[in-house]
Copies of this chain bind each other. A is one copy, B any other.
Amino acid sequence: MIKTNRIRMKAKPAGNLSRDDFSVEAITIPAPASGEVLIAARYFSLDPYLTGFMRGWQGPDPRWAEGIVVGRFVAQVIESQDQRFAPGDWVQGEGGWQDTEVISADKLQKLEPIPGVPFSVYLSVLGSSGLTAWAGVNGVLKVEAGDTFTVSSAAGMVGGIAGQIAKKIGARVVGIAGGAEKCAHVVNTLGFDACVDHHSQDLQGDLATAAGAPITAHYENVGAKTLDPVLANIADRGRIALCGLIAHYQDMNPIALKEFRRLLISGVTLRGFRLPDFAADFEQASAELKAMVISGDITLQETLSHGLESAAGAFLNMLEGKGTGKHLLVLEEK
């Protein structure tokens, strides 16, 4: 038997999530049997979609019913009872938020090292965030050189990568983000041409100035607050990729758009999309994203928190929009 610590929820949250809903509990797990691998987690991905499972104690993994948090990880192999893996190998998969875990080898993918790049990249640019950004820019919007491209939640992981991909293609890239600090990050670190603050009293006017031309391609992550000023500045036959509606997930109120008529007047195409719709493109997308990471065309953005004890706080900070880029929980080698 092996001792480990894991995150467990104390009870179903009554309202919004709080730090007190989470605890760290000490447990023992059996040693790996044949076909199994003992892993030590190095990074857990802190993702908004986990919120629903945390609040409902329901998710694709049956452990959710016991209040156990299950997410995407990057880990190292400690002990292997499967010939495909050896101690020290880096792997990715899905498991409980705990220091060590025994897991079926079939459910692990081995990761190749990329010189100069941390393995956490497999949870961000080379994970679903990067693929989602790629699919929106290339699969939905088909961005080309000369496009005037805008993206909301530009300091977030998906928005930040989407803008960098569009910039590499040759578009003029304008971000929408919350606050001067995030906007500075979007322009100075991520290399966008411009960024506007969504707290502005005149977001529509700011966007017109920053874009400098009607918007031909827009990547939406937030909701009506950013979509309306974009529609007010949209080009004839403009394209919109609808990737997320973060501002509207906590309620079921109608979504009201002052500028909905522009979809008709300007002949706009708006497409909602989900990552699995682009499964056929994953191989090409991964190769292109990896090349951009290596060349430096994509800057890694990470907000790191350390140790299981930090998990609850780190997750809530991510939900509240603190920090930029990919939020990760880091577990160091002991």
Interface of A toward B, CB cutoff 8 Å: 237, 242-245, 248, 252, 254-258, 260-274, 277
Asked if B269 and A271 make an inter-chain contact with CB atoms under 8 angstroms apart, the answer reads yes
Dominant secondary structure at the A interface: mixed
Asked if B244 and A264 make an inter-chain contact with CB atoms under 8 angstroms apart, the answer reads yes
A–B pairs, 19, beta carbons within 8 Å:
A242-B263, A243-B264, A245-B260, A248-B260, A252-B258, A254-B256, A254-B257, A254-B260, A255-B256, A255-B257, A255-B260, A257-B257, A262-B272, A264-B273, A264-B274, A267-B273, A267-B277, A268-B272, A269-B271
Residues of B within 8 A of A268 (CB): 271-272
Asked if B254 and A265 make an inter-chain contact with CB atoms under 8 angstroms apart, the answer reads no
Residues of B within 8 A of A277 (CB): 237, 267
Residues of B within 8 A of A248 (CB): 260-261
Contact of A261 among B237, B245, B269 (CB under 8 A): B245
Complex CA distance for A248 and B258, rounded to whole angstroms: 11
Asked if A270 and B269 make an inter-chain contact with CB atoms under 8 angstroms apart, the answer reads yes
Residues of B within 8 A of A243 (CB): 264
Complex CA distance for A260 and B256, rounded to whole angstroms: 9
Who on chain B is nearest to A277 by CB? Answer: B267
State how many angstroms separate the Cβ of A268 from the closest Cβ of chain B: 5
Complex CA distance for A272 and B245, rounded to whole angstroms: 21
Who on chain B is nearest to A242 by CB? Answer: B264
Complex CA distance for A242 and B270, rounded to whole angstroms: 11
Residues of B within 8 A of A252 (CB): 258
Most buried by B among A243, A248, A264, A272: A272
Residues of B within 8 A of A258 (CB): 252, 254
State how many angstroms separate the Cβ of A247 from the closest Cβ of chain B: 11
Complex CA distance for A256 and B254, rounded to whole angstroms: 6
State how many angstroms separate the Cβ of A139 from the closest Cβ of chain B: 11
Complex CA distance for A323 and B266, rounded to whole angstroms: 30
Asked if A261 and B267 make an inter-chain contact with CB atoms under 8 angstroms apart, the answer reads no
Complex CA distance for A265 and B257, rounded to whole angstroms: 18
Complex CA distance for A34 and B265, rounded to whole angstroms: 40
Residues of B within 8 A of A256 (CB): 254-257
Complex CA distance for A215 and B243, rounded to whole angstroms: 22
Who on chain B is nearest to A266 by CB? Answer: B272
Residues of B within 8 A of A274 (CB): 264, 267
Complex CA distance for A150 and B256, rounded to whole angstroms: 24
Asked if B272 and A264 make an inter-chain contact with CB atoms under 8 angstroms apart, the answer reads yes
State how many angstroms separate the Cβ of A231 from the closest Cβ of chain B: 10
5 further A-B contacts with Cβ under 8 Å, apart from A255-B260, A256-B257, A269-B269, are A245-B261, A245-B264, A263-B272, A265-B272, A270-B271
State how many angstroms separate the Cβ of A115 from the closest Cβ of chain B: 37
Residues of B within 8 A of A237 (CB): 277
Complex CA distance for A271 and B268, rounded to whole angstroms: 6
Complex CA distance for A269 and B263, rounded to whole angstroms: 12
Complex CA distance for A184 and B254, rounded to whole angstroms: 32
Complex CA distance for A50 and B237, rounded to whole angstroms: 24
